[in-house]
Amino acid sequence: MKCTNRKRIPALCLIIVLIFCMAGCGSSGYSMNYDLNSSVSAYRFISGDNSGTRADSFAQDLCVINGDVSVNSIDSSEAEAVLLCNINAREVLYGKNANLQLNPASLTKVMTAIIALKKGNLDDVLTASENVEITESGASLVGIKAGDTMTLAQALHALLIPSGNDAAVMIAEYIAGSEEAFVDMMNEEALSLGATNCHFMNSHGLTAEGHYVTAYDMYLIFNEAIQYDEFIQIISTSEYSGVYHNAAGDPKELSFNNSNWFLNGNHETPDGVMVIGGKTGTTSAAGNCLVLLSKDSSGNPYISVILKSSGREYLYDEMYDLINLVNH
């Protein structure tokens, strides 16, 4: 019996070693507790491709949030979702319902701008189709008509400063041939950025079933947009004017002010904080929305997002308190 036991012990050890090797012990692979259907973009995989033995987190250079974060307390009771991220430190300073899917209204146009800047040429001349003549009540328009022509640079100014829905359609058709094809590009880009809990149905943000973002996904999208110098230049512009042409070649004037209260002087900014620019959005379904790029007194950048505030004054008052947290 004793001899038999001595022979079985090494054999048992060999079996255990083989099991661990088959399981990947000592290799570069490891299991990750990620959920394909997670409500948190940073913890969700879309692709089922497991050909690689090890994957670095897409969020290794980004802020990540799972649950509310309140390093410093502020009143954000009038907003459904709130987020403040320190870009360089990759730190969430404040978060409320950051993974809640909500209607983004014209914050949608940040993604429209990304696709345009990524795929288009700023000097290209765009020609408007009849689809730019949106008749929905309350739609923000700059007055583009079928046959009008303008450069992509002009169209982006019309898209981002006064939030022209007609400019969004004009850009979408220029880039992809149709708004439907452009929307496919928007959703593909969102997935590539890790913004897996948002979905777009149009290029402008007018209310549509299945059109939504989260505050966290909006952070991911805006963080990509600010990699383009032209985007930052446009969102930081307080007023703009230019000349484009109608179908007959006659000149037409573009002239508008930024709808962002921090840039047009309708609301003060906190001491020690510089608001570079952002994007506004308002519909009855989305409430009042705002995403901002700001910097503290040392030049460190921050992204802040508020979705579905109950009123415009509340939106800017609570955004003021939010970005003021960078001083604490």
Phi and psi based region of residue 17 (left: phi greater than 0; alpha: psi -120 to 50; beta: remaining): alpha
Q: Looking at residues 38-49, what average pLDDT do you find?
A: 58
> What was the pLDDT predicted at 70?
84
Q: Boundaries of CATH 3.40.710.10 in the chain? A: 105-260
> What was the pLDDT predicted at 156?
98
**Whose CA is closest to 129, among 144, 119, 111, 109?**
144
Share of the chain above pLDDT 90, in %: 76
Residue 73 vs residue 82, higher pLDDT: 82
Look at residue 317 and tell me whether its pLDDT is greater than 50: yes
Phi and psi based region of residue 45 (left: phi greater than 0; alpha: psi -120 to 50; beta: remaining): beta
Q: How confident is the model at residue 328 (pLDDT cuts 50, 70, 90)?
A: confident
- Exposure string (b/e) for 230-242, b if CB count within 10 Å is 16 or more? bbeebbbbeebee
The contacts of residue 2 (CB under 8 Å, 6+ apart) are: none
> What was the pLDDT predicted at 324?
97
**Whose CA is closest to 221, among 196, 184, 204, 202?**
196
- Local structure of residue 296 (DSSP, 8 states): -
- C-beta of residue 323 within 8 angstroms of C-beta of residue 93: no
Q: 105-260 belongs to which homologous superfamily? A: DD-peptidase/beta-lactamase superfamily (3.40.710.10)
SS3 of 127, please?
strand
What are 146-168's pLDDT values in tens digits? 999 999 999 999 999 999 999 99
> What was the pLDDT predicted at 52?
44
> What was the pLDDT predicted at 137?
82
Residues with a known catalytic role: 106, 109, 163
Q: Looking at residues 225-236, what average pLDDT do you find?
A: 98
Q: What is the mean pLDDT of the chain?
A: 87
Q: Looking at residues 2-26, what average pLDDT do you find?
A: 43
